[in-house]
Chain A
Amino acid sequence: MKYIEEFRNAELAQGLSVAIKAEADSGRTYRFMEFCGGHTHALARYGVEDLLPKKVHMIHGPGCPVCVLPVGRVDEAIALATGHDVILCTYADLMRVPGTKYESLIKARSKGADVRMVYSTMDALKIAQDNPEREVVFFAIGFETTTPPTAVAIKQAQVLGLKNFTVYCNHVLTPAAMRAILGTHTLTGAPTVILDGFVGPAHVSAVIGTEPYEEFTRDYRKPVVIAGFEPLDVMQSILQLIRQVNDGRAEVENEYARAVMPEGNVKAQNLVAEVFEHRDEFSWRGLGAVALSALKIRPEFSDFDAELRFTVVVGNPKENKLCECGPILRGEKKPVECSLFGTSCTPDNPMGACMVSSEGACAAHWTYGRFRTSTETESD
């Protein structure tokens, strides 16, 4: 497949591996966070970490929308689906995310709730058009990549005059989460996660451009290298990060120039700005309440806001106490440090959100990396 296979070439990967080893030969260690689950997945799936020297540590970030959605929002969606006779449409990833007491949308569906998986917001609109007598709610999640399609659907619903279509909005913002990670400190004032830089988002950046990351280089002195989701992209971005650290630079670089323009996708940005505005704060799994970190539907489009149309009452949302998703999403722990990992929690029967989505740190490690840890060598 064009523009995919070339970026997975094994020979080029070996060359980049040699270059990284040579460049990382400075006596220090390097700690980089790959913000996106897409990068976490690529690192695990292609064994990229085996091509890195041991002194280069990759720390998984919170860029997995399913993973960071707090249990209370999952509970609300389940209550919406079961208590209001609606058709709840959602992306596949959300179906198995555990809510309080292991409830999930897929379990709600097995008990009779009308929950439907959709590939696109256009499918949800179609369902609303085909079922004028039913209320159709689209359970919207995702970072900046996934927000513009929701904006298009809301605008389209307005044009079509749909009275039975609403959106339960859970769209979140990448820079706010990066800020939260960098601003998290222990009681003694030390940062909880020590980072030397970020592998920056691929398709989030295709929408928002490169400018929003300038604050991390300017205010926090952390280099950001925007990278595509193929293994060679990730390796090249790691090489560029190591060079920046070695040179004492902190700049935004764009390795993914084939898809990311410096200004991003302005049409998509304008649509998002027209339909959504900031929430004062939003609760994230792992990060807690983060100011100005999520979007809600603007009053001009309130007819399409499920939070205004339906009153949803849920009990006290409870995370599984043993689940370590929170510290894992903050980069403080690895999946294997969770007592549930691979015992009671597997992708077939996830206890926590990080095991659900294929880009969740736990699911990626379970699927591709769990035999790797024991075979790591000390050769580097």
Chain B
Amino acid sequence: MCLAIPAKIIAIHEDDMADVELDGVVKDVSLALLDGVCVGDFVIVHVGYALSRLDPVEAARTLALFAEMGEAAKAEAAKAETDQ
């Protein structure tokens, strides 16, 4: 029920409405819950409303963290194996 998907704003219209694109599909969403949205922004869409803006810097940081955690753990495991 709380599922929501990231989609890219491709056009902003009057009445707080916008078009978003997701994998080639264009859908109209309401911007009534979010101020200051620009074309090109990614927003989280839930039941037809843009609920939050996606922060590309934070997204990249989170992905880098996943990689870092995994690499560190794998290196640790490899080291433990060599030590044995």
Chain A residues near B (Cβ < 8 Å): 1-4, 6-7, 9, 11-12, 14-16, 18-19, 21-23, 36-38, 41, 63-66, 91, 93, 119-123, 141-143, 145-146, 148-149, 152, 201-204, 206-207, 229, 232-233, 236, 239, 255-261, 265, 267-268, 271, 357, 359
Q: Could you write out 13 A-B pairs with CB less than 8 Å apart?
A: A2-B8, A15-B67, A18-B74, A22-B76, A64-B1, A122-B48, A152-B30, A201-B2, A202-B2, A236-B66, A259-B6, A259-B54, A259-B55
Q: Which of A123, A142, A152, A260 contacts B2 (CB 8 A)?
A: A142
List chain A residues, Cβ under 8 A from B74. 15, 18
Contact B73 A19 (CB under 8 A): yes
Inter-chain contact total with CB atoms closer than 8 Å: 157
Contact A268 B51 (CB under 8 A): yes
CA distance A22 to B62 in the complex (A): 20
CA distance A243 to B61 in the complex (A): 19
Contact B52 A271 (CB under 8 A): no
What sequence of 0s and 1s flags, for each residue 57-84 of chain B, a beta carbon within 8 Å of any chain A beta carbon? 0110111011101111110110000000
Contact A120 B62 (CB under 8 A): no
B5 located at the interface, meaning its Cβ lies under 8 Å from any Cβ of chain A in the complex: yes
Contact A36 B2 (CB under 8 A): yes
List chain B residues, Cβ under 8 A from A141. 1
B35 located at the interface, meaning its Cβ lies under 8 Å from any Cβ of chain A in the complex: yes
B34 located at the interface, meaning its Cβ lies under 8 Å from any Cβ of chain A in the complex: yes
Contact A203 B44 (CB under 8 A): yes
List chain B residues, Cβ under 8 A from A149. 30, 33, 46-49
User: How far does the Cβ of B28 sit from chain A's closest Cβ, in whole Å?
Assistant: 9
CA distance A130 to B42 in the complex (A): 32
List chain B residues, Cβ under 8 A from A357. 1
Contact A258 B3 (CB under 8 A): no
Residue of B nearest to A39 (CB): B2
Chain B residues near A (Cβ < 8 Å): 1-6, 8, 22-23, 30, 32-35, 42, 44, 46-49, 51-56, 58-59, 61-63, 65-67, 69-74, 76-77
User: How far does the Cβ of A277 sit from chain B's closest Cβ, in whole Å?
Assistant: 19
Contact B49 A2 (CB under 8 A): no
Contact B49 A12 (CB under 8 A): no
CA distance A14 to B71 in the complex (A): 10
CA distance A145 to B47 in the complex (A): 9
Residue of B nearest to A63 (CB): B2
List chain A residues, Cβ under 8 A from B32. 152
List chain A residues, Cβ under 8 A from B63. 6-7, 12
Known: A63-B2, A122-B30, A204-B2. A3 touches B42 (CB 8 A): yes
List chain A residues, Cβ under 8 A from B77. 18, 22
Q: Which of A65, A232, A260, A265 contacts B66 (CB 8 A)?
A: A232
User: How far does the Cβ of A320 sit from chain B's closest Cβ, in whole Å?
Assistant: 22
Known: A146-B47, A259-B52, A261-B52. A2 touches B69 (CB 8 A): no
> A-B pairs with the 9 shortest C-beta distances?
A15-B70, A120-B48, A19-B73, A258-B59, A3-B6, A258-B58, A206-B52, A257-B58, A18-B73
User: How far does the Cβ of A120 sit from chain B's closest Cβ, in whole Å?
Assistant: 3
Residue of B nearest to A11 (CB): B70
List chain B residues, Cβ under 8 A from A11. 70
User: How far does the Cβ of B76 sit from chain A's closest Cβ, in whole Å?
Assistant: 6
CA distance A190 to B30 in the complex (A): 47
CA distance A123 to B71 in the complex (A): 48
List chain A residues, Cβ under 8 A from B46. 145-146, 149, 203
